[in-house]
């Protein structure tokens, strides 16, 4: 295995560590895996997507199918690092309002500061970058195309689910926020 593959694997481990450390402060309500009817299975879909994505990357890395040049693999490491930073920033900005599943929590607030001033789902955007960067760095182009499609599809469903909940909870306030921000890519989408 080349250095970028090891770094990509380490980056994915850091991502998992962020998820663990930043979720330690969760109470039972926000840490719950239970679907309160508002998650619509999106959390389980994401977990399955991550498992399949890891298997795809490992399989393609072992076979060498679609391998990228060193420059592209290093760009994958950079994307992974940027994704980690964006994901962590989003989680920290939400603070105690961060939840594992899509749900309304006690004293739910609409956070519009930090990365949320520009995009509505920075944590999801960061995770997409983490997985695409990991795939490119560890296994190459075919992996980033397959993993990118899987992760983007899973998060498209999650975003749709979450925005439906936030619209019902915050009404016109959320609609105004939605109009002035992008979903995942600043000023684009």
User: DSSP readout, 81-113?
Assistant: HHHHHHHHHHHHHHGGG--SSS---TT-----S
Tokens of 80: 């992974």
The span from the CA of 120 to the CA of 116, in Å, is 5
Q: CB neighbours of 169 closer than 8 A, spacing ≥ 6? A: 104, 108
The domains located in the chain, with CATH, are 3-16+43-97+108-179 (1.20.120.1630)
Per the CB < 8 A criterion, the answer to whether 11 and 132 are in contact is no
> Does 100 score more than 90 pLDDT?
no
Q: What angle do CA 41, 170, 98 make, to 5 degrees?
A: 50
| Its pTM surpasses 0.85 | yes
> Pick the residue with more confidence: 1 or 143?
143
Mean pLDDT of the chain: 87
pLDDT (0 to 100) of residue 141: 94
pLDDT (0 to 100) of residue 30: 47
pLDDT over 70 percentage in the chain: 87
């Amino acid at each position: 295995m080349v250095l970028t593959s090891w770094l990509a694997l380490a980056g994915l481990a850091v991502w998992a560590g962020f998820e663990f450390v930043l979720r330690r402060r969760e109470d039972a309500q926000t840490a719950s895996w239970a679907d309160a009817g508002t998650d619509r299975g999106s959390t389980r879909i994401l977990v399955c997507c991550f498992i399949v994505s890891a298997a795809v990357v490992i399989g393609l890395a072992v076979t060498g199918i679609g391998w990228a040049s060193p420059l592209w693999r290093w760009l994958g490491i950079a994307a992974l690092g940027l994704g980690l930073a964006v994901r962590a920033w989003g989680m920290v900005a939400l603070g105690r309002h961060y939840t594992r599943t899509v749900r309304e929590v006690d004293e739910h607030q609409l956070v519009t500061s930090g990365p949320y001033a520009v995009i509505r789902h920075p944590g999801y955007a960061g995770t997409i970058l983490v997985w695409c960067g990991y795939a490119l760095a560890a296994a190459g182009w075919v992996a980033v195309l397959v993993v990118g499609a899987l992760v983007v599809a899973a998060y498209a469903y999650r975003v749709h689910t979450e925005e439906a909940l936030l619209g019902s909870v915050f009404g016109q306030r959320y609609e105004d926020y939605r109009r002035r921000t992008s979903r995942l890519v600043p000023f684009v989408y």
